[in-house]
Structure 1
Amino acid sequence: MISSVNGKLFKRMMMNGAINLSNHHKEIDQLNVFPVPDGDTGTNMKMTMMTGVKEMTACESSSIIDIAKKLQRGLLMGARGNSGVILSQFFRGIYVGLKEMTENEISVDAFIDCLCSGKDVAYKAVMEPIEGTILTVVREAAEVVAAKKGQIKSYEELFELYLTQARKSLSNTPNLLPVLKEAGVVDSGGAGFIKVIEGMEMAIHGVMLESNDSQATGVESAQAKVSGDIKYGYCTEFIIELKNDANFQESDLRSPLSMMGDSLVLVHDDGLVKVHVHVNKPGQVLELAQNFGEFVKIKVENMRLQHSELINAKPEETKPQEKKKFALVAVCFGDGIKQTFTDLGVDYIIDGGQTMNPSTEEFVKVVKACNAENIIIIPNNGNVILSAEQSTKLCDDANIRVLKAKTIAQGYASLMAFDSSNDLDTNYEDMTEAISNVQTGEVTYAVRDTKIKGVKIKAGDYMGICNGEIVVSVKERLDATKILLDKCVNEDSSIVTIFRGVGTPDEEIEELKEHCTELNEDVEVEVIDGNQDIYSYIIAVEA
């Protein structure tokens, strides 16, 4: 029977929780309400936990407070997606509770207080909490154990009671959110949270898990780490001037670099590519990079010898430069969409969106690289907004606004309203108004059979989604897109912008343009080669 937890056991609990989540993240991805091929809750939560555990294992202290501090910091920086942010805030609340303790052995009652603190901080992270989500699971489980405070004698008993209520709460989420019931799923964030807690409970019982996920290298390396050694010893930074900017694909460089090391940051901007990565063989990295262009600057530092804090400055800036009035940051996917946003004045593109939500740390690094008085972040995805907002709290020396742009179409429309001669508040208001005046249409394929708000969906069908709501599901893509346009285009519409995805034929595009003019003969139709995957078409309809 375990009546108290010290730093060593807490660390094992957190490793086990991360590995259990990692081992089940794909099934959690499949709990996505919409049957689209971009369900990512499990992946976001897994990557959030991996970053936190990696940071935690670098802590050489045996103090549970120091370990929890490192954990919450790593989770905060690594948070991806709404559920990842809420998860990071829950463990931040655990740390807030722990740091008030004076002992290194945390009693059952003290940990109950920490669980309640985790619940409180998680709720505060969301401006408008919605019941039937991970928040409900966290709250109801904490309330049940809090009611039994003083009566629970062991951690085994505590976690059994906590998990029993958490599972009960999760199973009830469809009754709180009708969209879950209609889709036949429970809340994915709550399911992921339970996997973390289950892993922690197994560690209390002495059962340590091994990762069965080949991609969970961060967790595996964290579990193997016993001496606090740096895994990748060379901090490598460089800038290259591209030989062929127009044909450059970020993935051609990003993918092999991500396999060589960690802490990868890649920024593609105006014919230059700036890279920061930690590796063991910097020569191989530089040889790879030289295939894409000529070096402008190179910096390699041996971190094992220096043991000094890495300075995340823009490597090309050798002397102070005058700050710009504005810097625009946008999250985009698809080479054509990225180029379009760049052409419209976006200074920094963060690769991500539908299938890979950027972390808080990625936002922080880009914000710190912006040499500007005012920064506007355009998330272009509802699941990215919380991470972006969380980054602003870590960059309190910057004047930042996060637009509530939930789609590429909304972000595109907002850029049309930006005017660098205006002040920050005026631009934010104008861009927000532009978002409210655009309708978003999206066409993608279904990955499973389901029924949502009366629309029957079969796996393989093409779905038309209007402003986040599935309005049609049919076998043919062209039919789905035409019906979607019927819902979006009316007599008040003035501009229809179609971002065409990978594999969309020219003759189909011509039919769609013709259909738009049939709906409104005065409407202006613009087609942009977005080159995005998953979504055949992303459509912005402006009044």
Structure 2
Amino acid sequence: TIMAGVKEVTNTKSKNIVDVSKILSRGCLMGARGNSGVILSQFFRGLYTEISQIKNGSATIDEFIAALVGGYQMAYRAVMTPVEGTILTVVREAAEAVLRKRNEFKTIEDVMVVYVDEAKKSLENTPELLPVLKQAGVVDSGGAEFIKIIEGMLLALQGEMIPMEEERVVEPGHFAHNIEEAEITFAYCTEFIVKLDEHETFDQENLRNILMNMGDSLVLVQDEDLLKVHIHTNQPGVVITLGQKYGELQTMKVDNMKLQHAGVVESIHNHAHEEKVRVVDFQPVNGERKKEAVIAVCFGDGIKQTFMELGVDYIIDGGQTMNPPTEDFIKAVSAVNADNIIILPNNGNVILTAEQTLDLVEDSNIRVLKTKTIGQGYAAMMVYDTSNEIDDNIEAMSDVVSEVKTGELTYSIRDTEVNGVKIKKDDFIGITGGKIVISDKDRKFAIKALVESILDEDSEILTLFYGKDVTDVEAKEIRDHVQALNEEIEVELISGKQDIYSYIVSVE
């Protein structure tokens, strides 16, 4: 969210505080992701609203404090039901603290030092305000991320600039991302921006009243001709269609939170907890329209190369979180220029996003094969035949996906216990069928145990994608171990060069 705003600011030549704050606010709104992202964008919008009243181009201490207060007030107004113990509390309590101490400050830097300090105190208290945080032993992630932003602002005031290439990763183990599935009533976090056809007469309250009956965590924000909607709902398609009645969709994102927040397993998926610019791999395509094409979501240079060699026309780089937005799929569909298109999401979180293209693209016959792992996608491509009709390919690929067994070996970011398996921080953990089956400090022991839990008497082929942290020697040792268990099993080693996962296993 903040990087979207910064990007817009760097593209402007103006140094005027009013202009910069307006551009930052609008950029953050356009790039806002998640509830905290929208709230952050509104914090900056509140800052701009107050700063816009400045006449001489620079803010006094009182005007700057008023802007911080306006920021938290705007953020609260954007949320239908403000929840304490979140980023909202952090921005409010920090602003209220500097407001109380306003007569003690001599410089803006003095204000920011206290503001950052009070924000940190507020963050540490969030578990006392929100039971789910206390139960999980964590603080609010949105508030933690906000503190990183204002710490950066303070460093800039102090003349300590951090080069962009030195990205600081926020470890997620201390923050709240692991809400139990049973606590999630509305499964789909749905966000979109609409460019309003008639923004001057748009009835925001009417839409708000309609959406309130369709979910919770509703945030509805209008900035001139842009409307940003964030809601947790069980009817994402209906909500998005409703939004389209008011104008043209600019961006859209839908996430299945029950999959996102399934305890430590999904925390591992989000280990690199920073927003990076997502890279979409554009492959050259012919000007002539193709009969059929395949699009796959992958990560790791070796894995991507393998999928290309198997016949995939276009790779969407899922990044470490494997969570590309719908717009990436729309670009991919346009790039392959085919009558029939098969999409392999290769991650359970991505399936719904991929399926959004079915409603948004009309000139191609698109089929989403619900592959939930890289291993399933790989097995599907092994039976893909370019000479077959799409229905025949879908049938053959679906059959093999239903039969293949897959697993991943990654590492834990905190101590916990899941399904009776005790896990220590930095343990290597083996996951298959969405469940953790092994946790151990020794990577080779853990991968051997994972493979043994997947193999059965019917297993014939085992494919092992090994990651950046695994040597060729170690991978060959695991291959030899498998063949010692059953010499009839064919083992294929592929250097996937993926992060996060030391091994990805596919067994047919």
Task: Work out which of the residue numbers 364, 379, 382 in structure 2 matches 1:413.
Answer: 379
Q: Deviations over 1:338-375 (max 9, x none)?
A: 00000000000111154242110011011011121110
Give, in whole Å, the separation in 2 of the partners of 1:485 and 1:126.
39
Give, in whole Å, the separation in 2 of the partners of 1:17 and 1:531.
33
Q: SS where residue 410 of structure 2 aligns?
A: strand
Shifted more, 441-450 versus 424-433: the winner is 424-433
Structure 1 partner of 2:398: 432
Give, in whole Å, the separation in 2 of the partners of 1:125 and 1:352.
22
Structure 2 partner of 1:302: none
Structure 1 partner of 2:487: 521
Q: TM-score, normalized by length of structure 1?
A: 0.49
Structure 2 partner of 1:334: 300
Q: Deviations over 1:399-427 (max 9, x none)?
A: 10011001110000000121222221221
Matched, 1:267 2:281: yes
Q: Percent identity?
A: 46
Q: SS where residue 292 of structure 2 aligns?
A: strand
State the shift of 1:24 in Å. Answer: 5.6
State the shift of 1:328 in Å. Answer: 0.6
Counting only pairs closer than 5 Å after superposition, residues 379-394 of structure 1 correspond to structure 2 as: 379-394=345-360
State the shift of 1:450 in Å. Answer: 0.7
Structure 2 partner of 1:362: 328
**Are the counterparts in 1 of residues 214 and 235 from structure 2 also a CA contact under 8 Å?**
no
State the shift of 1:479 in Å. Answer: 0.3
Q: Deviations over 1:439-459 (max 9, x none)?
A: 112111100111110000000
Give, in whole Å, the separation in 2 of the partners of 1:496 and 1:391.
33
Distance 1:454 1:12, change over 3 A: same
Distance 1:474 1:12, change over 3 A: closer
Counting only pairs closer than 5 Å after superposition, residues 48-447 of structure 1 correspond to structure 2 as: 86-88=188-190, 104=202, 106-107=204-205, 111-117=208-214, 122-125=233-236, 183=263, 266-269=280-283, 321-447=287-413
State the shift of 1:379 in Å. Answer: 0.8
Distance 1:88 1:516, change over 3 A: same
**Residue identity matched to 1:501:** G
**Are the counterparts in 2 of residues 329 and 350 from structure 1 also a CA contact under 8 Å?**
yes
**Are the counterparts in 1 of residues 280 and 315 from structure 2 also a CA contact under 8 Å?**
no
State the shift of 1:215 in Å. Answer: 7.8
Q: SS where residue 484 of structure 2 aligns?
A: helix
Q: TM-score, normalized by length of structure 2?
A: 0.53
**Residue identity matched to 1:116:** N
**Residue identity matched to 2:368:** V
Q: SS where residue 422 of structure 2 aligns?
A: strand
Distance 1:525 1:21, change over 3 A: farther
**Are the counterparts in 1 of residues 404 and 507 from structure 2 also a CA contact under 8 Å?**
yes
Counting only pairs closer than 5 Å after superposition, residues 479-518 of structure 1 correspond to structure 2 as: 479-518=445-484
Task: Work out which of the residue numbers 481, 488, 497 in structure 2 matches 1:531.
Answer: 497
Shifted more, 514-523 versus 323-332: the winner is 514-523
Q: SS where residue 342 of structure 1 aligns?
A: helix
State the shift of 1:333 in Å. Answer: 0.6
**Are the counterparts in 2 of residues 353 and 384 from structure 1 also a CA contact under 8 Å?**
no
State the shift of 1:114 in Å. Answer: 3.1
Q: SS where residue 383 of structure 1 aligns?
A: helix
Structure 1 partner of 2:37: 18
**Residue identity matched to 2:435:** E
**Are the counterparts in 2 of residues 489 and 519 from structure 1 also a CA contact under 8 Å?**
no
**Residue identity matched to 1:124:** Q
Give, in whole Å, the separation in 2 of the partners of 1:414 and 1:369.
22
**Are the counterparts in 1 of residues 298 and 322 from structure 2 also a CA contact under 8 Å?**
no
Give, in whole Å, the separation in 2 of the partners of 1:13 and 1:115.
24
The total of aligned residue pairs comes to: 313
Give, in whole Å, the separation in 2 of the partners of 1:329 and 1:400.
10
Q: Deviations over 1:303-346 (max 9, x none)?
A: xxxxxxxxxxx7xx6xxx43222111011111100000000000
Task: Work out which of the residue numbers 443, 449, 456 in structure 1 matches 2:415.
Answer: 449
State the shift of 1:20 in Å. Answer: 3.0
**Are the counterparts in 2 of residues 381 and 407 from structure 1 also a CA contact under 8 Å?**
yes
Structure with higher RCO (Cα < 8 A, 6+ apart): 1
Give, in whole Å, the separation in 1 of the partners of 2:27 and 2:365.
40
Q: SS where residue 386 of structure 1 aligns?
A: helix
Distance 1:500 1:18, change over 3 A: closer
Q: SS where residue 375 of structure 1 aligns?
A: strand
Distance 1:485 1:106, change over 3 A: closer
Give, in whole Å, the separation in 1 of the partners of 2:297 and 2:442.
30
Q: Which runs of 5+ in 2 are unaligned?
A: 1-25, 42-85, 89-122, 147-183, 217-230, 240-256, 268-272
Give, in whole Å, the separation in 2 of the partners of 1:471 and 1:534.
18
Two-structure CA RMSD over aligned residues (Å): 4.7
Matched, 1:469 2:488: no
State the shift of 1:487 in Å. Answer: 0.5
**Are the counterparts in 2 of residues 447 and 460 from structure 1 also a CA contact under 8 Å?**
yes
**Residue identity matched to 1:123:** N
**Residue identity matched to 1:334:** G
Q: Deviations over 1:227-249 (max 9, x none)?
A: xxxxxxxxxxxxxxxxxxxxxxx
Give, in whole Å, the separation in 2 of the partners of 1:125 and 1:486.
40
Counting only pairs closer than 5 Å after superposition, residues 25-36 of structure 1 correspond to structure 2 as: none
Structure 2 partner of 1:478: 444
Give, in whole Å, the separation in 2 of the partners of 1:364 and 1:474.
41
Distance 1:126 1:451, change over 3 A: farther
**Are the counterparts in 2 of residues 489 and 516 from structure 1 also a CA contact under 8 Å?**
no
Q: SS where residue 346 of structure 1 aligns?
A: coil
**Are the counterparts in 2 of residues 87 and 122 from structure 1 also a CA contact under 8 Å?**
yes
Q: Which runs of 5+ in 1 are unaligned?
A: 1-10, 36-40, 47-81, 128-134, 136-172, 189-213, 217-254, 259-263, 273-313
